[in-house]
Structure 1
């Protein structure tokens, strides 16, 4: 049924004329209007818009190029600073090692000197002790001699001991 309705509508439209696809003077006029509108839009809207887009694209491209150059430069500087830092660390470690060696050498010298001084003082003390011992022995010998004479004098008498 719907098929017959569509067929009937197409036949009536063909008989009346002025349908959807009627070609008369309005078609070229619409084409001219369209081309005129396209030219005006192109001059007023599309060209400035494409110019702004192109300028923005160029601006972005330049910024990216500058950013890449800055990144490369910063990476080179970072590598250079890392190298200098490594060299500085090596130098400081060498200085520290040298200072430690010097400190150990000085400590060893001071210890040796202190030991030598202690040895000298000990020897001096031993000599003093030996000297005092000898003096004490002499003094004891004298006392022993006097005591033994006194004992002999008391036992034998003073005349016989001389």
Structure 2
């Protein structure tokens, strides 16, 4: 059987599907050289660009998340300040309303006192004028009575 195999191998033509001669190691060396050249000229720059891009994206995301946290903190702070300012404004408004009401009430009371004082003074003036008018009227009545009496007495003596 061994002889038969050796005869078959000897009869097989060269250049078949798998020739194990010196071209196989040469092809392997060429393949390895092509891999080294492609790695140095193509894969490493592309890998570097991809790594740089990934670093840029990671840094951008980190910066964006930090900025978002800061923005949220500022928003919270400003909302608290706004709430405090609104509360202070409401306090000032209510205090101003109370002060204005007190001033208006005080002015009304002063005006009422002034009006009462003026009414009293006017009443006193009217009473004084009434008394003067009555006294003048009494004086005139006395004078007229005296004249009438004198005329009547003078008319009787004629």
**Shared fold per TM-score greater than 0.5:** yes
1:70 maps to which of 59, 67, 77: 67
Q: Residue 141 of structure 2 corresponds to which residue in structure 1?
A: 144
1:122 maps to which of 115, 119, 124: 119
Deviation of 1:140 after TM superposition, in Å, equals: 0.5
The answer for unaligned runs of 5 or more in structure 1 is 1-15
Taking the aligned partners of 1:66 and 1:22, their CA distance within structure 2 comes to 60
Q: Residue 23 of structure 1 corresponds to which residue in structure 2?
A: 18
Q: Residue 104 of structure 2 corresponds to which residue in structure 1?
A: 107
Is 1:52 the counterpart of 2:49 in the alignment?
yes
Deviations 1:39-65 (A, max 9, x none): 210122202220221122012101101
Is 1:133 the counterpart of 2:130 in the alignment?
yes
RMSD: 2.3
Taking the aligned partners of 2:153 and 2:109, their CA distance within structure 1 comes to 64
Deviation of 1:156 after TM superposition, in Å, equals: 2.9
Taking the aligned partners of 2:155 and 2:142, their CA distance within structure 1 comes to 15
Distance 1:138 1:159, change over 3 A: farther
**SS in structure 1 at match of 2:18:** coil
User: Normalized against structure 2, the TM-score is what?
Assistant: 0.79
Deviation of 1:22 after TM superposition, in Å, equals: 3.5
Q: Residue 33 of structure 1 corresponds to which residue in structure 2?
A: 30
**Higher-RCO chain (CA-CA 8 Å, sequence separation at least 6):** 1
Of 38-47 and 80-89, the range deviating more from structure 2: 38-47
Equivalent pairs counted in the alignment come to 143
Q: Residue 89 of structure 2 corresponds to which residue in structure 1?
A: 92
**SS in structure 2 at match of 1:87:** helix
